[in-house]
Amino acid sequence: MKNNLKDTQLLQRIAKQDRQALSDFYERYAAMLYTTASRILRTSEEAAQVLEEVFLQIWDEAGAYDAKWSEPFHWVLSVTRQKATARLKAQKRRYSFVEELTQETAALAALRPAREDEFPGLAQHARIHAAVESLPLEQRQTLELAFLGGLTPNEIVAALNQPAATIKTRIRRGLLGLRDGMRIKHD
Amino acid sequence: MTDEYREVQASLYALGALPAEEEREFEMALHSDLKLQLLFGELSAAADAMVVAFPRLDPPAALKHRILAAIDQRLTTNNIPRNPALAPMSSWQSWLAWAMTGAFGVLCVILIFLDQSYRQQNSGLIQQLSELKEQTTQLQTERDSLQTQVDQLSARYGQISSNFQQQVAERIDDLQRKKADLQKQFDQHSVDSQTQVSGLQSQIFKAAAEQDRLKQELAGAWASLKRDPFAQMRLLTLKPSAEAPPKALAAAIWDLGQQKGLLGVEGLAVLPPSRTYQTWILDRKSPTAPINAGVFNVDEKGAARIQLNGLSAHVDDVSRVMISTERKGGAAAPTKVILSSN
């Protein structure tokens, strides 16, 4: 049965050791977080381990979550990214950018389209797809290296062998373009 | 600091990639700049949205059970009642217990001092935290207000844009309709004008043909007329003036082709030897220059028949014949006209 509680309400219940609330929160975000961890680590076993660590941390630290600072999804996504990128760095590996994202996305999206309740607050999935896919490849690559690879601007400069100003410009234009694409399409 | 510089910082901060040495400075700017907070919120949401574009993968089915089992174990561990069993103690153990008790007492005193110190620090931190929360709430309220304004402006702009586009579309439709009407009228007028031009041209052709025909007829008539001897003849009667005898009468006939004529007079007075009658002919082309046609005298009955020929000038057409009285031998121009045709 679908749970209509808001994310913040679920986290409040989890903070009170409500097992069912955690189960509902898992149903809502597990696929999204697992996808993110898999994208970063490229192995399903490690992604599953990260996801388990993330949800145990949610169980332990839900009481410390403060809705004034960030949205619940942003919080759990940050935790997931940090854990996954920490594993990458511990293994001295580097984030692998997948250029054929568009084709891969289209193929897999046909198998199982995203559900609205899996990503509340960002209802227009198809439009977000379009906004991401409209980004120039070099901008998307730079954004992913920073956001998912956990690389600093200097590390990205070294990885891509491009001037620092170019990297910063790509990040700025890429994120602003993504924002504008989403906003315009929402309008 | 340019807006572009802040945008770069906000982008890096949203991605979690802002270098540590810049974080503090940016966070201070973020704390006092509502516009920057709004930008950061949007960029952060945009960054989070990137993961939506990834191919969706489902986690292993057993993973959820494993997580819930781990949670169940934690719940069970937390709920186990603590009831340690008591064991007999030896004498040195008893002494150790007393020593530990003493040490515990000293530790408690230290902890009490530390507790007071920490409580004071904690109180200050709680107060700071409270102030920060209050500031945060205020900033969020301001941000919500700004967002509301942005939404209203966006909606208003959308409405204005929609209205303008509608007006432009209607205006374009109207102009296209007018253009079509004008084109239709122009086409109709063009057809009418062409029809009229064709009709006029046809009339012109007919008129030209008629003109040619009339010219031919006229030429034929002139030729026929010239061939008719009577057509070359001019017959004129002369009437007396107040100075002529009342019964005076004259008639003249002039042949244009032969350039000669005949004058007959009756009822004129017999003139003395120093005087004579003189005949004058006026040509239509020179009505002010009478041509001398000769002098004559009448018999005792006042009558005479005079041949008119050998004039000093050619007469194209006769407009008038006059008779005057002159001194013997005639004059260069008539001085006293007593008979004249119309």
Which chain B positions have a beta carbon within 8 Å of A132's beta carbon?
49-50, 52-53
Output the CA–CA distances (angstroms, integers) from residue A166 to A94, A156, A162, B321, in the order listed: 21, 11, 7, 122
Query: What is the per-residue DSSP string for B168-202?
Result: HHHHHHHHHHHHHHHHHHHHHHHHHHHHHHHHHHH
Residue A186 binned pLDDT confidence (cut-offs 50, 70, 90): very low
- pLDDT score recorded for residue B87: 40
- pLDDT score recorded for residue A122: 45
- pLDDT score recorded for residue A34: 95
Q: Do B46 and A175 touch (CB under 8 A)?
A: yes
- Mean pLDDT of the residues in chain A: 83
- pLDDT score recorded for residue B144: 84
Global confidence as pTM: 0.48
State how far the Cα of A176 lies from the Cα of A172, in Å rounded to an integer: 6
pLDDT at A121 > cutoff 50 = no
Task: Determine the residue among A58, A171, A180 to mutate to test chain B binding: the one whose Cβ has the most chain B Cβ atoms within 10 Å.
Answer: A171
- Chain B (59-78) residues lying within 8 Å, Cβ to Cβ, of chain A: 59-60, 63-64, 66-68, 70-72, 74-75
Which among B50, B54, B137 has CB closest to A143? B50
- pLDDT score recorded for residue B83: 44
3-state class of B287 per DSSP?
A: strand
Task: For A28-60, write each residue's pLDDT tens digit.
Answer: 999 999 999 999 999 999 999 999 999 999 999
Which amino acid is located at B267 in the chain?
A: G
- Chain A (55-94) residues lying within 8 Å, Cβ to Cβ, of chain B: 55-56, 59, 68, 70-71, 73-74, 77-78, 81-82
Which chain A positions have a beta carbon within 8 Å of B133's beta carbon?
68
Task: For A71-97, write each residue's pLDDT tens digit.
Answer: 899 999 999 999 999 998 898 888 877
Looking at per-residue pLDDT, the higher value among A66 and B99 belongs to: A66
- From the CB of residue B221, how many other CB atoms can be counted at a distance below 10 Å? 11
- From the CB of residue B309, how many other CB atoms can be counted at a distance below 10 Å? 12
- pLDDT score recorded for residue A126: 73
- pLDDT score recorded for residue B164: 85
Asked whether B228 and B220 are in contact (CB, 8 A), the reply is no
- From the CB of residue B48, how many other CB atoms can be counted at a distance below 10 Å? 24
What is the pLDDT averaged over residues A161-183? 92
Asked whether A143 and B50 are in contact (CB, 8 A), the reply is yes
Which among A51, A125, A153 has CB closest to B52? A125
Please, which residues have CB within 8 angstroms of residue B190's CB and are 6 or more apart in sequence?
Answer: none
Please tell me if residue A171 touches chain B, with a CB cutoff of 8 Å. yes
What is the pLDDT averaged over residues A168-186? 84
Positions of chain B with pLDDT under 50: 82-90
- pLDDT score recorded for residue B264: 95
